Amino acid sequence: MLLLLSVFFILTEAFYEASNDKAISGVVEGFNRAGNAFFFLLFMVGASNPIAVELPLWRVVLGYLFLREAIFDYFYNWIADNKWYYIGKTKFRDRFYRWLFQKVPNNFILFTRFCVGFMGAGMLIKY
């Protein structure tokens, strides 16, 4: 359940950041942030409900970040009509990735993000 919620919130975040329609984007952003806060608070208080899990907080946060790293850019580029391997130019993270991946083929970027996403999904699954 935690894995599905994480994927849902990552995809809605990518949608509102890439969307050109400001009205829909604002509604989705508000829903995304409220949902993130609500589920994070439920997790922190250990509420006894279907989404409460017995995972350490570090594992949930790291799993979410890894999963976001794996799928956010691809969904963002799809919504914004960019090439699937497009890396931005403004943020520090984008400049670092441009430097890191300038000499490797695009398939290597896909492979590394697949590995990171797989690790993140594994951290979010209770086993």
Q: In this predicted model, what pLDDT tens digit does every residue of 86-126 receive, in sequence order? A: 888 888 878 888 888 888 887 888 888 899 999 989 888 87
pLDDT tens by residue, 46-80:
655 555 557 777 888 888 889 888 888 888 888 88
Residues of the domain holding 20: 2-124
Q: How far apart are CA 69 and CA 63, in angstroms?
A: 10
Provide the number of structural domains found in the chain.
Answer: 1
pTM for this prediction: 0.72
The pLDDT value recorded for residue 118 is: 92
Q: How far apart are CA 31 and CA 28, in angstroms?
A: 5
Q: How far apart are CA 90 and CA 82, in angstroms?
A: 16
Q: Would you say 63 and 122 are in contact if contact means Cβ atoms under 8 Å apart?
A: yes
Residue with tokens 């960019």: 82
